[in-house]
Chains A and B, each alone.
Chain A
Amino acid sequence: MSDEQGKYRPLSYFQLMEISLRELLVEKGILTNEQVDAEVENMRSRTPERGAKVVARAWVDDNYKKRLLENGTKACEELGLDVPALKLVAVENTPQTHNAIVCTLCSCYPRMLLGIPPDWYKSRNYRSRMVREPREVLAEFGLAIPENTQIRVHDSTADMRYIVLPMRPAGTEGWDEERLAGLVNRDCMIGVAVPKGPRD
């Protein structure tokens, strides 16, 4: 197998296991290759722009924000974003509270809104330290949280999935949803960054 630079590398244990399992499932008629390809395509098509759309709507519409904080799943469905089989909890950043998401057990992640998780989210380093020393971890991401701001870390260990609703940056008054959504990246919705406005 070749890596991205075209250099030959032997398959890792897990790559070999994945191929073996997939081939067995296809061979036994449980799945088809087309179904596997379609699911991979489906996963790749989900990007953080979906989450940014939700955030931007919440910034311009207070009633929507209220509904989002009450029932994240329903609020996403309102925007035509399907969030199947699990419950979405949106947690709001305020001047008093900064939220951040981690899954210490594995790598639970709101894929339907943010797509495929970054490698660091799945790393042992992030998973073990984010619950233990969040301020140090956030500082490594370049985010200094003032001592009088409460940090609320959400360990996503069971059936809920989380998205951080960041604070709307100053200087964006009158911006439309699309322009606002452009300020919201993946890391802002995990809580390891905050959106930068025109004055930042």
Chain B
Amino acid sequence: MNEARFKPGERVRVLKAYPPGHIRTPHYIRGCVGEVERICGAFPNPEELAQMRSGLPAQPLYRVRFLQKNVWPDYAGAPSDVLEIEIYQHWLEPA
């Protein structure tokens, strides 16, 4: 298992990358900056599992909270509205 690099409350940026294959990081969130809400544990990397490999070492998985207005520049709801989404560690960098 890879060690968790980020702590709850830390600001992180989702990588703006477009590799081929089975990716569980939705396009709309790539490049966005949010805050770690919690560490969910570590799970086999789904990108590897999809290729019939072990997915090990397990990747730390985070729930990351984003302000909606930082995800959608034209977001029309309340400024405090948020989106929370699970992101694997190898998709995150410090922000």
Which residues on A are within 8 Å of B, measured CB to CB?
87, 89, 104-105, 131-135, 147-160
A-contact 0/1 string along B56-88, CB 8 Å cutoff: 000001010000100110011110111111111
Question: When the two chains form their complex, are residues B63 and A160 in contact, meaning their CB atoms are under 8 A apart?
Answer: yes
Total inter-chain residue pairs, C-beta < 8 Å: 75
Shortest Cβ distance from B45 into chain A, in angstroms? 10
Contacts of B76 in A (CB 8 A): 133, 135
Q: Mark B14-57, 1 if CB is under 8 A from A, else 0.
A: 00000000001110110000000000110100100000000000
Chain B nearest CB from A108 CB (Å) reads 10
In the complex, what distance in Å separates the CA atom of A104 from the CA atom of B71?
A: 14
Question: When the two chains form the complex, which single residue of A134, A155, A157 contacts B77, counting CB atoms closer than 8 Å?
Answer: A134
- 5 A-B pairs with CB atoms under 8 Å apart are A89-B40, A134-B81, A154-B84, A155-B84, A157-B86
Contacts of B40 in A (CB 8 A): 87, 89, 158-160
Docked Cα-Cα span, A105 to B87, in Å, equals 13
* Cβ–Cβ contact B41 & A156, under 8 A: no
Given contacts A87-B40, A154-B84, contact A148 B78 (CB under 8 A): yes
CB contacts (< 8 Å) of A158 on chain B: these are 24, 40, 43, 46, 61, 86-88
- Residues on A with C-beta less than 8 A from B88 are 158
Find out whether the CB atom of A159 lies under 8 angstroms from the CB atom of B43.
yes
Chain B interface size range: 20 to 34
Chain B residues whose CB sits within 8 angstroms of the CB of A89 once the complex forms = 40, 63
Q: How far apart are the CA atoms of A49 and B66 in the complex, in Å?
A: 32
Inter-chain contact B86/A132, CB cutoff 8 Å: no
Which residues of the partner chain B approach A154 to less than 8 Å between Cβ atoms? 83-85
Residue of A nearest to B42 (CB): A159
* Complex CA distance for A150 and B80, rounded to whole angstroms: 6
With beta carbons under 8 angstroms apart, the residue of B43, B71, B81, B86 that contacts A150 is: B81
Q: Given the known inter-chain contacts A104-B26, A131-B28, please indicate yes or no for A147 contacting B78, CB distance below 8 A.
A: yes
A103 to chain B, nearest CB (A): 10
A149 contact set on B, CB distance < 8 A = 78
Partner of A87, one of B41, B68, B78, B80: B41
- Rounded to whole angstroms, the CA-CA distance of A159 and B25 in the bound complex is 12
Q: Please, which residues of chain A bring their CB within 8 A of the CB of B72?
A: 132
Further pairs besides A133-B76, A153-B82, A158-B87: 14, Cβ < 8 Å: A104-B26, A105-B26, A131-B83, A135-B81, A148-B78, A151-B68, A152-B81, A154-B83, A157-B25, A158-B40, A158-B61, A159-B40, A159-B43, A160-B63
Q: Report A138 CB to chain B, min CB distance, Å.
A: 10
Cα of A158 to Cα of B85 in the assembled complex, Å = 9
> Which chain A residue shows the least CB distance to B43?
A159
